[in-house]
Structure 1
Amino acid sequence: MKAVWLIIGLCLTGIVNAEDSIERMHAEKMESFRSASLQWKDEPILPKGAKSALLVGDPTKAGVFIVRLKFPAHYPIPAHTHPFTEVITVLKGKLGNGMGNKLNKQHGEILHVGDSFVLPTNHAHYVWTEDEETEVELIATGPWDITYIDAKDDPRKAK
């Protein structure tokens, strides 16, 4: 009987230790985020024109983060993947979203304010905007990165 309790104890300890190693969202204080007062910066991993405003976390480190992204009208993000699952919600405008290795608006869908989608890890997809500026909220796990299907589309590479 002692052996059974020892095994149960070891299993429970393993579960507790596994939970302790999970990177959780963390905040130092209660904070409100008002769209009009966000500090937008150029987003270097996306094609020129995208802006980002960090709300919670650090996309360069392991753990959950939340960021707002703003895209101009008629803005494409070519086919790419991300190393971790993402959830995107449209806050303003419309966002086209498609799956596959090449941007093809005919095989995508248009998402409206309040609509969301989830992207599995390493799932090839692309997005675009139409006739208006679009703002989305991204919830993901860092470190955040993007791998363009066609390396020529990567704005971080010298052209």
Structure 2
Amino acid sequence: MRRFVLVTLSALLAASATGAQAKAMKWMDASGAGLPAGAKMAVVSGDPSKAGPFVIRAKFPANYTVPPHHHPGDEVVRVTSAGALSYGMGDKLDKANVGSLTKGYHVTMGAGMNHYVFTTDPVDIQVSGNGPFAITYVNPADDPRKK
């Protein structure tokens, strides 16, 4: 019985810390990181601009699109809220050939692999990987940092 109470208390403390961490995150405009206008992001752990592991959260509004792009390292994208994130691979956005992720599911985007994402409803995601993180758009005109 004592062991069960200890495990339960530990689980509650871990859950409380996770909830407190989420509330303490500093949300900012994600366009500085290279995402199109409308997204918000927060760093959960690490520093995406430096070498080493990182975790960020992002909030995408309804009808949001990140055009075809790639990253220098693998990234794991996980949906953390209600709603769906649609994703596809390739140099051109093709909404007819996509996969869809809902809360709790994830996809790994390989380093250098061109891909895109879009939403129909608002959705929150978590991205983890090893930095430094960068976004390179297939079509440089799609890069919001150059507009």
Q: Return the TM-score normalized by structure 2.
A: 0.82
The higher radius of gyration belongs to 1
2:126 to 127, 131, 137: 137
Q: What is the root-mean-square deviation in Å for CA atoms of aligned residues?
A: 1.2
CA contact (8 A) 1:33 1:55 kept: no
Report the equivalent of 2:5.
Answer: none
Look up the SS of the partner of 2:96 in the other structure. helix
Look up the SS of the partner of 2:146 in the other structure. coil
Deviation for aligned residue 1:109: 1.3
- State the identity %: 41
Q: Which amino acid aligns with 1:100?
A: G
1:42 to 2:29 alignment: yes
The alignment covers a number of residue pairs equal to 127
Q: Tell me the distance in 2 between the aligned counterparts of 1:37 and 1:149.
A: 35
Unaligned runs of at least 5 residues, structure 2:
1-16
Q: Which amino acid aligns with 1:71?
A: F
Q: Which amino acid aligns with 1:32?
A: T
Deviation for aligned residue 1:39: 2.0
After superposition, residues 1-150 of structure 1 pair within 5 angstroms as: 32-34=18-20, 35-43=22-30, 44=32, 45-92=34-81, 93-130=83-120, 132-150=121-139
1:61-108 deviation line (CA, Å, top 9, x unaligned):
000000001100000000000000000110112100100001111011
Larger fraction in helix: 2
Deviation for aligned residue 1:156: 0.4
Deviation for aligned residue 1:33: 4.5
Q: 1:54 to 1:33 in 2, by over 3 A?
A: farther
Q: Tell me the distance in 2 between the aligned counterparts of 1:146 and 1:120.
A: 13
